[in-house]
Structure formats: C-alpha cells, structure tokens
Structure 1
Amino acid sequence: MRCAADSAQSPVQSKATITRTRSRHGKRFGVGWDVLWLSIFALLVVFLVAALVSINKSSLDAVTKLVWAVLALLFPIIGPVVWFVDKSSNRSSVPPRTRAQQ
C-alpha cells in the first residue's frame, strides 16, 4: 500500500530519471549519437547481406558456401571482411583465361 510520502516522492524521482536519461549523451550532441550508432549498425547489416549474397553467388560447393555463411553470421564484422579479402586474393591468383581456353 502506498502512503502519502511515497506518492510525493514519485514525481521528483521520475523527473530526476528523465534528466539523467537526457544527459547521458551529453548536452552538445543530443540525438546525434543515436543517429551515428544507428547508421553504423545499418551499414554493418548492409555489408553482411552483401557478403551473404556474394557467398551464395560464388562458384564454391554447397558445403563451403554453408561454412562461409555461418562464419559471416557468427562474426558479422570480421566474417564478411575475411570473405571479401579471400575472394579478391583468390581471384587475383588465378590466371585469366584466354579465348583459346574458353
């Protein structure tokens, strides 16, 4: 059961909580930090999806594609970076085909 003293303190506590929440980002930036983190998160999601599409379109066998996809999902920052670096290094180490070979 609430007493009169509890109800008198509730508005003060909630106002302090609101003030503390507003000031956690600093007075100078405000919502800017939230926008920055949201943008970084969105770019990481786009990068991960691009890596998964690239893995799917590659000429690897199904098991290797699955391993790469799982690695990209388990390590969403490092996995796609390693995939794109490995993909580009494999592409440059293979000699280009001539018309006679095609």
Structure 2
Amino acid sequence: MSPAGRVFAVVAFLEAATWAGLLLGMYLKYVSGTTDVGVWLFGRLHGAAFLLYVAVAVVAGARLRWPLWALLVAVLAAIPPLLTLPVEYVFRRKGLLSAPPLRATPQAAK
C-alpha cells in the first residue's frame, strides 16, 4: 500500500469511528434522554473527521490516479454512516490504495 493509501485507510477508519460515536451520542440524547455530551463531543470530532476525509480522498485520488468513479464513490461514502469502512476495504482489494504503475518513457534514439 502506498503512503497516500495508508493515510486514506486511517482517515476512513477515523471518519467511521467518529460516526459511530455520534450515533451513540444521538441515542443517549434523543432515545434514553440521559446526556447530550456525546452529541456535543462527537459532533465536533465527526465534523472535523468528515472534512479531513474528503480532503484526503481528493488528494489520494489525485496521487494514486483513481478513475473518476472511484473518487466520487470515496467522497460520497462519507455521507451515510460507516460507509467509509467497506469502501476502504473494496479499494484495498481492487488495488486502488497501491501506488500506480510507473509509465514507461520512450528512450531517445541514439
């Protein structure tokens, strides 16, 4: 896996983890009515993780030369809860998180 692919994988996990924390916080606030600290804390953390994930997806897509469909899937995966994890898994299996092959340059005729 390339360095950009590793950063994408870590940030995808971070984005999903903050989504899970926010969902737990919303349960505690709106269903059980016990506290709103989870929404306060994870709302902020998830907002930052969401923005970081979108930025990292765009940079990784450019560095790893993803096709447009892959970039769109990666960016849109941040919207539904926890979707960044399966997207990262599929991208890893398809080799999209590895460095793209180097292009052969034609040798100058001597």
TM over 0.5: no
Q: Relative contact order (alpha carbons < 8 A, sep ≥ 6): 1 or 2 greater?
A: 2
TM-score computed with the length of structure 2 as normaliser: 0.41
Q: Which has the higher helix share?
A: 1
Structure number with greater Rg is 1
